[in-house]
Amino acid sequence: MTRSRWIRSTPARRSPIRQDHPLLANRSVAAGDIAAYGWLAFTHEVKGTDALARFLVARGLPPPSYAMRFTALAAMLTAIRLGDDIALISSDCKDEAAARGIVPLDIGEEI
């Protein structure tokens, strides 16, 4: 079963971002750091978005704000590459994402 996260399916700790994303300059990334950014997800994604909301709210942070939702992987990968939003995508997409200059962001905690 594929969970909606990139690279690791269980436990989930990584989400894709562009290779020059501002968060990559941090030595470590905490929940508060990712809460400040918009999120991208597939329109039909429920488990991953619910898990992310629980993760943030449990740490006293607001639930994620979704900048865009997608039905096509290519469109989502383009949005990741061109912006600062963080995404929820399947680990099955890691090779295609890497080929487009998208790298995993290790948030240091399980979602």
Mean pLDDT of the chain: 81
CA dist 17 → 1, 73, 88, 90, 100 (Å): 23, 14, 10, 13, 11
| Choice between 65 and 3, residue whose per-residue pLDDT is larger | 65
| Percentage of the chain lying above the pLDDT 70 cut | 87
Query: Could you report the per-residue pLDDT of 35-78, keeping only the tens digit for each?
Result: 889 999 999 888 888 989 999 999 999 999 999 999 999 999 99
Asked if pLDDT for residue 29 goes beyond 70, the answer is: yes
Mean pLDDT within 77-90: 88
pLDDT of residue 102: 87
Please state the pTM of the whole predicted model: 0.78
Domains, the chain, in order of start with CATH, read: 14-106 (3.40.190.290)
Task: Please give the full DSSP string across 37-87, using - where no structure is assigned.
Answer: S-EEEETT--HHHHHHHHHHHHTT-PPPPEEEEES-HHHHHHHHHHSS-EE
Q: Containing H/E element for 35? A: helix 31-35
Measured at the CA of 18, the angle between CA 9 and CA 55, to 5 degrees, comes to 45
